[in-house]
Amino acid sequence: MHAAVVVFPGSNCDLDAYYVLKDLLGIETTLLWYRERDLSEYDLILLPGGFAYGDYLRAGAIARFAPVVQALPEYIEKQRGLVLGICNGFQVLTEAGLLPGALAPNINRRFICKSVKLRVENAYTPFTQLCREGELLELPIAHGEGRYIASEETIERLKRNRQILFRYYEENPNGSLESIAGIMDETGTVFGMMPHPERNCERLLGLGEGLKIFQALAQALTPGPSPVITHGRGVAQAG
């Protein structure tokens, strides 16, 4: 498996994601400059957190035009691999129309950095296959624009297709509709979440629960005896 962590001007969680993939999981990982257009090498494209282009105008509004993001639709259509957007990466994916909905400024209009509880809503995806449905994870959030909003229709569709993967549990820190913290697209290959799994992958930094998501991706993308999980609606085979 070969993973790419995209580096936009202004990305600041790129090295954190790289560390988890490369150093903790031993996955071959490349830091991919935003001007690259050729994604054919990579089984996983990770859009990291940060402030691509300073988040000026709107978070992700300028980054969506970066060559690397422009190359994503073809990558997804060909089912070449999986795409994961964390925090700012999620914002870029929604701005680019690769995930439905939008991320608006937090309801309290301030940046929020804290640990939150998430409930796993769908455990039958390449991203969550190592979690149990209903399991609670504790992960840090750190964002100013994380309030998930979408039309009623979209929300209905997300629910119907089981595209909602994580909800904030007990406390909804940013005012997201339906407490949505992470979703995937209809093909089950593009995934976005506001919390930072890469910030809780070791016992030193918490309970290390974030690692499950990266391990799940590695399992889904590594050819071998462990079959790619394909049950659950709308989840295509990847890798």
Choose, from 87, 95, 145, 201, the residue flagged as catalytic: 87
**Judged by CB under 8 A, how many residues of this single chain contact another protein?**
32
Annotated catalytic residue 135 = no
The Cα 221–Cα 19 span in angstroms is: 18
> How many other β-carbons are positioned within 10 Å of the β-carbon of residue 152?
8
Residues 32 and 76 sit within 8 Å (Cβ to Cβ): no
Least CB distance from residue 125 to another protein, whole Å?
25
Annotated catalytic residue 198 = yes
Question: Which x/- pattern over 105-144 shows residues binding another protein (rule: CB under 8 A)?
Answer: -----xxxxx-------------------------x-x-x
Kindly report the three-state secondary structure assignment for every residue of 9-77: CCECCHHHHHHHHHHHCCCEEEEEECCCCCCCCCCEEEECCECHHHHCCCCCCCHHHCHHHHCHHHHHH
Residues 102 and 163 sit within 8 Å (Cβ to Cβ): no
Residues 92 and 47 sit within 8 Å (Cβ to Cβ): yes
Tell which positions 176-215 bind another protein, by CB under 8 A. 196, 198-199, 201, 204-205
Annotated catalytic residue 87 = yes
* By CB under 8 A, residue 26 contacts another protein: no
How, if at all, do strands 28-33 and 2-7 pair? parallel
Which conformational region is residue 50 in: left (phi greater than 0), alpha (psi within -120 to 50 degrees), or beta? Answer: left
Judged by CB under 8 A, which stretch of 55-63, 77-85, 91-99, 148-156 contacts another protein? Answer: 55-63
Instruction: Select from 10, 105, 175, 234 the one that contacts another protein (CB under 8 A).
Output: 10
Least CB distance from residue 10 to another protein, whole Å?
5
Question: Which of the residues are catalytic?
Answer: 87, 196, 198
Q: Which residues bind another protein (CB under 8 A)?
A: 9-10, 12-13, 15-16, 19, 23, 49-51, 53-57, 62, 65, 110-114, 140, 142, 144, 196, 198-199, 201, 204-205
